[in-house]
Chains A and B, each alone.
Chain A
Amino acid sequence: GDSVTQTEGQVALSEEDFLTIHCNYSASGYPALFWYVQYPGEGPQFLFRASRDKEKGSSRGFEATYDKGTTSFHLRKASVQESDSAVYYCALGESNMGYKLTFGTGTSLLVDP
């Protein structure tokens, strides 16, 4: 079945550092790819999506580019802030399945001031 792999369980950075969180996927079809963010005590929130090869999604200074060749959708931000501390989830889904999203295991980002 479809799957999403996030290799980093935890990432610790200082403010203004550059962030990369890796996401690779495996799917039989041509899925849409998503990033969600979860702050402590809350449910996950949609960050952005991309639905075709080479499309870039972005929001709140975060961005990721759909790469069908490497089956990747890595999350990047040029300069992180303490308020970015949260858990980030990569996910995939297909519209013909009512966007039954498959999530990765999540990456916890801690940013020191």
Chain B
Amino acid sequence: EAAVTQSPRNKVTVTGGNVTLSCRQTNSHNYMYWYRQDTGHGLRLIHYSYGAGNLQIGDVPDGYKATRTTQEDFFLLLELASPSQTSLYFCASSDDGGNTGQLYFGEGSKLTVL
């Protein structure tokens, strides 16, 4: 069973604050993703990566940076947080070797920007 762990699970910050969301997967998957989930929008892709040092732009990247430091670790950075970034963030990983397109999601990080 794939394991994807996110931290923190809950975070409250103020407008203009710095936030880093962390994600670690322990299954040697090449692909990792950051999604945000909002009512009425479903899941929207922010950034993704297919290996250490690689970064690909997703569909809603504005206001977000990301960095993949190792095969296991993928970080999402909000350098000047805004209330519009209040959301539930999910990290996911996938094994492209099997080419199934099956993503394994973490349990989510709830971010509130006041």
Identify the A interface with B (CB < 8 A): 1, 6, 32, 34, 36, 41-46, 49, 89, 91, 93, 95, 98-106
- Using a Cβ–Cβ cut-off of 8 Å, how many residues does chain B contribute to the interface with A? 29
Given contacts A43-B92, A43-B105, A100-B58, is CB(A95)–CB(B44) below 8 Å? no
Task: Report the minimum CB–CB distance from A41 to chain B (whole Å).
Answer: 7
Identify the B interface with A (CB < 8 A): 4, 31, 33, 35, 40-45, 48, 50, 56, 58-59, 90, 92, 94, 96, 99-108
Task: Report the minimum CB–CB distance from B100 to chain A (whole Å).
Answer: 7
Chain A residues, Cβ within 8 Å of B31: 98-99
By the criterion CB–CB under 8 Å, are A101 and B42 in contact?
Answer: no
By the criterion CB–CB under 8 Å, are B102 and A46 in contact?
Answer: yes
Chain B residues, Cβ within 8 Å of A93: 101
By the criterion CB–CB under 8 Å, are A98 and B56 in contact?
Answer: yes
Chain B residues, Cβ within 8 Å of A95: 96, 99, 101
Chain A residues, Cβ within 8 Å of B101: 32, 34, 49, 93, 95, 99, 101
Interface centre among B40, B43, B48, B92 (most CB of A within 10 A): B43
The distance in angstroms between the C-alpha atoms of A44 and B50, with both chains bound, is 21
The distance in angstroms between the C-alpha atoms of A104 and B40, with both chains bound, is 9
The distance in angstroms between the C-alpha atoms of A34 and B102, with both chains bound, is 9
Chain B residues, Cβ within 8 Å of A49: 100-102
